[in-house]
Chains A and B, each alone.
Chain A
Amino acid sequence: MTAVVDRLRTLPSWQVTLTGALFVLGFLIAAQLAAEGPRVRYTSQERAPLIETALQLEQQRDTLQARILELRARIVELEGQEPGSVALVSELNAALEQARIAGGLVQLAGPGIVFRLEDAENPAGASDALVTARDLRTLVQELWLAGAEAVSINGERVTTGTAVLDIGNAILANSAYLTPPYQVNAIGPPELYDRLTSSASFVEFVRARIEPYGLRLSFAELDSVTVPAYAGAIRTRYARPEPSASPRP
């Protein structure tokens, strides 16, 4: 033993440094190979260009969404400066503002709850241990029933047209690709949490779906929760206002 220690003492310090560095190097090479492992299996000719395309499309989507928010803001501004009969214009503008709020085109803030829903710690290939689109839909439905006024999932506003779908181990909401952990923001009355947790169907959801499979659901009640504006299309192609509906002033 002492012989080894003596031998170590006689080693020049650069050798010790180099040994240390080589250890780290080996570790990193192993980590890199391990990380590449599952991907190598997939890096067939078809997947790389698909990922590339999906990323490009997502970038385009982000740009388009930013443009829509910007254009809407400028239109609101111009409509506010509309000349003409003051009473009529302000009435129309007020109606437009209300309709934008009702449709989810305006970011809202208020008291509420922020939920975090995650896959089980060790899903071990069991699909029941992963958060599904239906779990998120159930949580959102329970929030609506408890009186929530506005809800978003990972920043995607839940509007009248929002579908939440499974895709691989992730979900699509408003056609946006969202990965866990999922954050559900909800604004509602002060009794939102009490109503939610005393709802028999919510209790059943936690008992039958969250607990047995180790899904992780946590929450925080906050004085100010932000629910972003919907940055998507609202033009209808098939639906038109009912002709018999009373005309506006």
Chain B
Amino acid sequence: MTSSRQRWAITLVAAVLGLLVVAQLRAQGANPGLSNLSAQELTLVIANVNTRNEQLRAEVAALDRQLTSLTEAQSRGESALGQLRSDLAALEAWAGLTAVVGPGVSIRISGEIGGEGIEDLLNELRNAGAEAIAVEGVRVVPGTVVYGAPGELSVENTPLPDGFEIRAIGSPQILTGTLTRSGGVIAQLGATYPDATISVTPLDSVSIPATDRDLVPSDAQPSL
């Protein structure tokens, strides 16, 4: 009798122990980040991922159409050169290899401001969905950095004059609203660089040139 009760006690303890070990391991493993966020931050993550998922869905749909028309053209023995050309044009426009035009904003910057401040502004433009950006006529692509101390800014080894222009293509309302909202990037830059003046003008048509950079790497190789 006693021995049976002892066994039950040990079994019970072992069972609870096992459950707790599993619970503990799960708690450690479950995405460490999200559970540390506040409701407001979670809403921001959701909004961001949701917007991106919509873009990804549109991309999947476009790629599906592209694939279907390629397959159909080939099964009919026809050429899909026209499509290859339009894919190429879209890709080159996005990558910065060709000049683009569209609605957007012009941002004029004068006074003393540092390179990090301009980079913060460019980051916020990308966040607001800018599709192409140029700083004083230089297309911003991977590798393009605006750097230097206030009064000594440069981009692609070209000094920027006082009173230079940043152009961006995207929704003029969203770009303007994101940059100029209270507590937004321009307000923050105003606090850090009180002598700088930044003005944003929405435009129906903005032209942005192609990059002069060679974007095809020489040290890196395509890999699978």
Q: Which of these, B23, B33, B120, B171, contacts A170 with CB under 8 Å?
A: B33
Q: Which of these, A18, A74, A75, A175, contacts B49 with CB under 8 Å?
A: A175
Segment of A3-11, A117-125, A213-221, A230-238 engaged in the interface with chain B: A230-238
> Is the pair B222, A108 in contact by a Cβ cutoff of 8 Å?
yes
Q: Which of these, A18, A150, A189, A242, contacts B100 with CB under 8 Å?
A: A242
Q: Which of these, B57, B63, B71, B87, contacts A96 with CB under 8 Å?
A: B87
> Is the pair B39, A46 in contact by a Cβ cutoff of 8 Å?
yes
Question: A144 interface residue, CB < 8 Å from B?
Answer: yes
Sort chain B's interface into a size bin: 35 or more
Most A Cβ at <10 Å: residue of B84, B123, B224:
B84
Residues of A within 8 A of B44 (CB): 167
> Is the pair A138, B116 in contact by a Cβ cutoff of 8 Å?
yes
> Is the pair A100, B147 in contact by a Cβ cutoff of 8 Å?
no
> Is the pair A239, B208 in contact by a Cβ cutoff of 8 Å?
yes
Grouping DSSP codes into helix (H, G, I), strand (E, B) and loop, the B interface class, with mixed when no group exceeds half, is helix
> Is the pair A102, B215 in contact by a Cβ cutoff of 8 Å?
yes
| Smallest CB separation, B171 vs chain A (Å) | 7
Question: B77 interface residue, CB < 8 Å from A?
Answer: yes
Across the interface, name the chain A residue whose C-beta is closest to B41: A168
Say yes or no: A50-B42 contact (C-beta < 8 A), given A75-B63, A82-B79, A162-B126: yes
Q: Which of these, A44, A101, A164, contacts B216 with CB under 8 Å?
A: A101
> Is the pair B45, A109 in contact by a Cβ cutoff of 8 Å?
no
> Is the pair B171, A238 in contact by a Cβ cutoff of 8 Å?
yes
> Is the pair A172, B45 in contact by a Cβ cutoff of 8 Å?
yes
Across the interface, name the chain A residue whose C-beta is closest to B95: A103
Residues of B within 8 A of A67 (CB): 60
Name the 10 nearest CB pairs between A and B, nearest first: A103-B95, A102-B215, A175-B52, A109-B223, A110-B220, A84-B79, A233-B55, A242-B99, A163-B127, A179-B33
13 A-B pairs with C-beta separation under 8 A: A18-B10, A25-B16, A35-B27, A78-B71, A79-B80, A79-B84, A82-B79, A95-B88, A148-B143, A151-B142, A168-B37, A172-B45, A233-B58
Which A positions have Cβ atoms within 8 angstroms of B? 14, 17-18, 21-22, 24-25, 28-29, 31-32, 35-36, 39, 42, 44, 46-47, 50-51, 53-55, 57-58, 60-61, 64-65, 67-68, 71-72, 74-75, 78-79, 81-84, 88-89, 92-93, 95-96, 98-112, 133-134, 137-138, 141, 144-145, 148-151, 158-165, 167-170, 172, 174-177, 179, 187-190, 201, 226-227, 232-245, 248
